[in-house]
């Protein structure tokens, strides 16, 4: 297992290099450049040239990439072109809110999806099953931005129960209840998506296991039904679900981009959109680099959890 993890980490290095090269090319191919973005109409052409020179934008692309990589190896992600803050500080300030949002959405979503999926499978073709499937279909198919705007309209503007955006009320940074209120709507949007997709996987996976011989054996041994369902069946059904969740974590990051934008949630999503709009290359590269690491670690963690859920799986 340990050697497997080390092997996986070593494979991750060329993958990350590949991803960053690819991103670097794409970012540089986008029309417009950061210098033209900052410039006031009165700036002379040679001033623009000078700024480009200072930022190294006139160097060939491969040289710029090597420069970036060289800095990265020394732990330096550079300075943001728009705020002039070190990119590390910019990212650190944004990662927390995003993980909070994603983490909660995952927890809430799975807390809804797992029991409902199991119940739905147990009572296949019942009213409960149909209702659950209907709700899950809604969760998968409704676009996040639409749901978000709808929730803002209902709970924020019409009923005035919940704040419509931001992380906390200004001047109330320490108020826990206030922070929770601000979390409700964005977490709801993301967790409805998580729940929607996972209910179906849990249900399908459980149904498959229910048909297996070993469950009949377990029942024949006289085991109680909840032990059969929750221990024997669920454990086996869990394996494909873990894979799905592993894939979902990065997808959730994508969903958070839009959700954060709608709810003015100051996380990675908003930062990404702004960096794209202002062609802030160093920040964009850092975001992509981080996203690559997140995807790879989510996969690795999935594999580890996998082997715990199913001791038959060995990586050695």
Partner 1 sequence: MKKSLRFLLACMSIFALLALAACSNSTPDSSKEKETTTKTTASGDKIMYVGIMTPPTQLNPINARELNTQILSSILFESLFDLNENFEFLPKLADSMETEDNINFTVNLNKDAKWTDGEPFTTEDVLFTLKTMANPEVTSLGLQPLSVIEGLEANGTLAAGATEIAGVKVVDEHTFTVTTKVATDINYLKEKLGVDIRFLPEHVLKDEDPVNLHQSEFMRNPNVTNGAFTFVKLEADQYVEFAANKEYYRGTPKLEKIFFKVLPSTNLVAQLQTGEVHINHPGVGPIATDDLERVKNMSNVTLLNGHALYSQVVYVNLDTVSNEKARQALVQAMNRDLIIEQVQQGLAEPSDGPYPTGHPYSNKEKVYSYDPEAAKALLEEAGWDFGKVLNFAVPTGNKAREQAATVIAENLKAIGVQVEINKYDLPTVVQKGAAKEFDLLMLGLPFTLDPDLSAYYATGAPYNFSGYSNPKVDELFAQGKAEADVAKRQDIYSEVSSILQQDLPIIHLYALTSPGVVSNKVVNAKPTDFGMFYNIHEWDLTE
Residues numbered 155-174 forming contacts with partner 1, rule: CB under 8 A: 156-157, 160, 164-167, 169-174
Alpha-carbon separation of residue 239 from 8, 114, 194 (angstroms): 20, 13, 17
Residue 43 contacts partner 1 per CB under 8 A: yes
Among 9, 25, 54, 131, binds partner 1 (CB under 8 A): 54
Alpha-carbon separation of residue 140 from 61, 83, 134, 269 (angstroms): 41, 37, 10, 21
CB of 201 to partner 1, least distance (A): 19
Residue 240 contacts partner 1 per CB under 8 A: no
What are phi and psi for residue 18, nearest 5 degrees?
A: -60, -45
Residue 56 contacts partner 1 per CB under 8 A: no
Among 72, 104, 140, 204, binds partner 1 (CB under 8 A): 104
Complex with partner 1: residue 14 or 174, whichever CB lies closer: 174
Paired tokens of 50: 């000078």
Under a CB-based contact definition with an 8 Å cutoff, are residues 257 and 287 in contact?
no
Residue 85 contacts partner 1 per CB under 8 A: yes
Residue 97 contacts partner 1 per CB under 8 A: yes
Complex with partner 1: residue 17 or 251, whichever CB lies closer: 251
* Residues of span 188-217 touching partner 1 by CB under 8 A: none
Q: Which helix (H) or strand (E) holds 245?
A: helix 234-263
Alpha-carbon separation of residue 310 from 215, 242, 314 (angstroms): 16, 11, 9
Q: 86 in helix, strand or coil?
A: strand
Residue 52 contacts partner 1 per CB under 8 A: no
CB of 158 to partner 1, least distance (A): 11
Residue 223 contacts partner 1 per CB under 8 A: no
Residue 258 contacts partner 1 per CB under 8 A: no
Q: Which residues pair with 79 in a beta bridge?
A: 86
């Amino acid at each position: 297992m340990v050697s497997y993890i080390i092997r996986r980490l070593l494979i991750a290095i060329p993958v990350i290099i590949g991803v960053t090269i690819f991103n670097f090319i794409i970012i540089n191919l986008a029309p417009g450049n950061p210098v033209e973005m900052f410039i006031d109409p009165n700036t002379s052409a040679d001033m623009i040239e000078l700024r480009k020179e200072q930022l190294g934008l006139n160097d060939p692309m491969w040289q710029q990439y090597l420069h970036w990589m060289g800095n990265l190896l020394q732990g330096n992600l550079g300075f943001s072109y728009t705020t002039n803050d070190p990119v590390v500080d910019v990212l650190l300030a944004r990662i927390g809110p995003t993980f909070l949002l994603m983490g909660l959405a995952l927890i809430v979503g799975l807390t809804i999806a797992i029991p409902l999926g199991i119940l739905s499978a147990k009572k296949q073709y019942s009213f409960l099953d149909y209702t659950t499937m209907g709700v899950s279909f809604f969760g998968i198919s409704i676009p996040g931005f639409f749901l978000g705007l709808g929730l803002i309209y209902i709970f924020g503007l019409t009923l005035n129960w919940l704040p419509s955006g931001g992380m906390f009320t200004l001047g109330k940074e320490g108020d826990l209840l206030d922070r929770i209120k601000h979390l409700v709507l964005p977490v709801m949007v993301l967790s409805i998506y998580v729940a929607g997709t996972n209910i179906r996987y849990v249900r399908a996976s459980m149904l498959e296991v229910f048909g297996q011989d070993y469950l009949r054996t377990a029942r024949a041994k006289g085991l109680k039904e909840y032990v059969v369902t929750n221990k024997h069946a669920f454990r086996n059904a869990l394996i494909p679900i873990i894979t799905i969740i592993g894939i979902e974590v990065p997808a959730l990051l994508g969903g958070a981009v839009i959700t954060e934008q709608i709810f003015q949630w100051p996380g990675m999503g908003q930062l990404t959109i702004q960096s794209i709009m202002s062609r802030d290359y160093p920040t964009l590269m850092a975001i992509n680099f981080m996203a690559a690491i997140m995807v790879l670690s989510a996969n690795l963690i999935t594999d580890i959890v996998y082997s715990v859920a199913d001791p038959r799986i060995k990586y050695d």
